[in-house]
Amino acid sequence: MGQKKPQVVVTRKLPDAIETRMMELFNTRLNVDDTPMTKADLVEAVKQADVLVSTVTDRIDAAVLSQAGPNLRLIANFGAGVDHIDLATARQRGITVTNTPDVLTEDTADMAMAMILAVPRRLVEGEHVIRQGKWAGWSPTWMLGHRIWGKRLGIIGMGRIGQAVARRAKGFGLSVHYHNRKRVHPEIENELEATYWESLDQMLARMDVISVHCPHTPATFHLLSARRLKLLQPHAYVVNTARGEVIDESALTRMLVKREIAGAALDVFENEPAVNPKLVELDNVLLLPHMGSATIEARVDMGEKVIINIKTFVDGHNPPDRVLASML
Ligand code: 8YV
């Protein structure tokens, strides 16, 4: 006789192939019209589910978890970042949390690299000129941006994605600098020809481009504070594909408005999907709607990871991508 299938509640629409496989393997409740769940929906979901498949748009805080039914044993997050889940409360209640690292590394790094190139070379501005019918023809001194080759890139957070960005940056002739809680292995440092800065403040003051790749945790909230942003050189660019909360968005916006730094490329924001309206008015800023891992390949692979995490967990094993509060 087969094992009883777990009740799995999926909070958002996932790729078809993933949903179909989940329907085969588990008692799955899908969200086919993809309406983001309200707090009340989430409470209902945690009451019913053995396993909750969450995404970045679900705020699974202590208030939600306090209403979880006795059966909720696993939150299998679709995504690498877990800052929307109260991990401490989950642990207290004996709920395991898993995520989907690795499979989105290369795509997110591609997006970061594209953003590192796009603002200094004014890609979006140029495109707008043509679409608005304002191109009067080539001129030797018009639409000049800044060279990337030979400049210094400061990476904040040298984990998987930070390293993948560093490899790309090397190919574009950038010299790689980084700040991380821990210095990475000398072999990796050598391969990337990367310079470690124990002091983030010192690194910020010397870089041409800063790219953020650390998770959002209590320790990294507003890591790029108003004070630290002031350390940047006036010709510096800031790129963020990690989490909006790592940068004080209001302070960054004020500096961009006053042209105290050269520009920014942001794929993530403090209050998504809201974007500071002042940012939208600026031409030295590229704004993207949290698209870092948005390839069909990444989203299918993320779904596969979710399935593997659930399957191993319900079969009584440690799921491969357990998130431990001590990792953060
Ligand atoms: C995902 C992300 O799209 O994985 C992450 O942490 O930020 C994104 O790439 C999102 O989290 C899916 O839940």
Query: Average pLDDT for consecutive 10-residue bins of the chain (328 residues)?
Result: 86 98 98 97 98 98 98 98 97 97 98 98 98 98 98 98 98 98 98 98 99 98 98 98 98 98 98 98 97 98 98 98 78
**Catalytic residue check, 272:** yes
Cα–Cα distance measured from residue 50 to residue 57, given in angstroms and rounded to the nearest whole number: 20
Ramachandran quadrant class, 150 (left: phi over 0; alpha: psi -120 to 50; beta: rest): left
Which atom of ligand 1 is the closest one to the Cα of 12?
Answer: 13
pLDDT of residue 3: 75
Cα–Cα distance measured from residue 116 to residue 123, given in angstroms and rounded to the nearest whole number: 11
Query: From the CA of 20, how far away is ligand 1's center (Å)?
Result: 21
Closest CA to 269 of 228, 216, 232, 229: 216
Cα–Cα distance measured from residue 264 to residue 311, given in angstroms and rounded to the nearest whole number: 41
Which residues of the chain form beta strands (DSSP E)? 7-10, 27-29, 51-53, 74-76, 96-98, 152-156, 175-179, 195-196, 209-212, 237-240, 263-266, 285-287
Cα–Cα distance measured from residue 215 to residue 107, given in angstroms and rounded to the nearest whole number: 17
Residues ≥6 apart with Cβ < 8 Å to 94: 73
The whole model's pTM is what?
0.97
**Catalytic residue check, 243:** yes
Beta carbon of 269 within 6 Å of any ligand 1 atom: no
Distance, C-alpha 125 to centroid of its chain: 25
pLDDT of residue 146: 98
Which atom of ligand 1 is the closest one to the Cα of 55?
Answer: 13
**Catalytic residue check, 191:** no
Q: What is the DSSP letter of 8?
A: E
List the domain boundaries for the chain.
7-101+295-327, 105-287
Query: From the CA of 154, how far away is ligand 1's center (Å)?
Result: 23
The number of residues in the chain equals 328
Residue nearest to atom 1 of ligand 1 (CA): 79
Identical fold for domains 7-101+295-327 and 105-287, yes or no, is yes
pLDDT of residue 2: 62
**Of the listed 21, 167, 183, 290, which one is catalytic?**
290
Number of neighbouring beta carbons within 10 Å of residue 230: 13
Beta carbon of 180 within 6 Å of any ligand 1 atom: no
Query: From the CA of 81, how far away is ligand 1's center (Å)?
Result: 6
**Residues forming a β-bridge with 176:** 153
pLDDT of residue 328: 55
Beta carbon of 79 within 6 Å of any ligand 1 atom: yes
3-state secondary structure of 15: coil
Query: From the CA of 27, how far away is ligand 1's center (Å)?
Result: 25
Distance, C-alpha 183 to centroid of its chain: 22
Fold (CATH) for 105-287? Rossmann fold (3.40.50)
Superfamily of structural domain 7-101+295-327: NAD(P)-binding Rossmann-like Domain (3.40.50.720)
> In this structure, which amino acid lies at residue 214?
C
